[in-house]
C-alpha cells in the first residue's frame, strides 16, 4: 500500500491526498496538483483510500468520508 501504512495510518502522500480532498479538490487531476504528486500515483492512491473507507467517490468527485475526517482530525491533534 502506497497511501496507507501496514499500521493503518496514512503515509505522507496519503495524508497529502486526504488534505487535498478535505480542501475541496474532488477530481484526481485537482488532487494531484494540490498534493504535488504524479497523477498516476493519485489515481492508484484514491483506489486505496476508497477501499479503506477514508474517501468516497460521488458523482465523479472524491469526498472525505467521516472515517477519513476523523483520521485527519486525529493527525492534527
Partner 1 sequence: MEEVKEQLISLPRLGERAPAFEAVTTQGMLKLEDFEGRWLILFSHPADFTPVCTTEFIAFAEIFPELQKRDVDLLGLSVDSVSSHIAWVRNVEEKTKVKIPFPIIADLNKEVSLAYGMIHPGQSKTETVRCVFIIDPNQIIRTILYYPLTTGRNMDEILRIIDALQTTDKNAVATPANWRPGDMVVVPSPNTQEMAEERLKQGYECVDWYLCKKKL
Q: Cβ 40 to partner 1, closest distance in Å?
A: 4
> What does DSSP assign to residue 71?
H
List binders of partner 1 among 4-63 (CB under 8 A). Answer: 38-41, 43-45, 47-48
DSSP strand E in 1-77: where?
55-58, 61-64
CB of 4 to partner 1, least distance (A): 10
- CB of 73 vs partner 1, minimal distance in Å: 25
Give the span between the Cα atoms of 53 and 60, in whole angstroms: 16
DSSP code, position 47: H
Contacts to partner 1 by CB under 8 A: 1-3, 38-41, 43-45, 47-48
Amino acid at each position: 500500500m502506497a497511501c496507507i501504512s501496514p499500521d493503518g495510518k496514512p503515509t505522507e502522500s496519503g495524508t497529502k491526498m486526504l488534505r487535498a480532498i478535505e480542501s475541496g479538490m474532488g477530481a484526481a487531476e485537482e488532487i494531484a496538483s494540490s498534493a504535488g504528486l504524479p497523477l498516476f500515483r493519485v489515481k492508484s492512491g484514491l483506489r486505496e483510500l476508497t477501499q479503506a473507507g477514508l474517501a468516497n467517490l460521488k458523482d465523479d468527485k472524491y469526498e472525505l468520508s467521516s472515517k477519513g475526517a476523523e483520521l485527519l482530525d486525529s493527525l492534527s491533534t
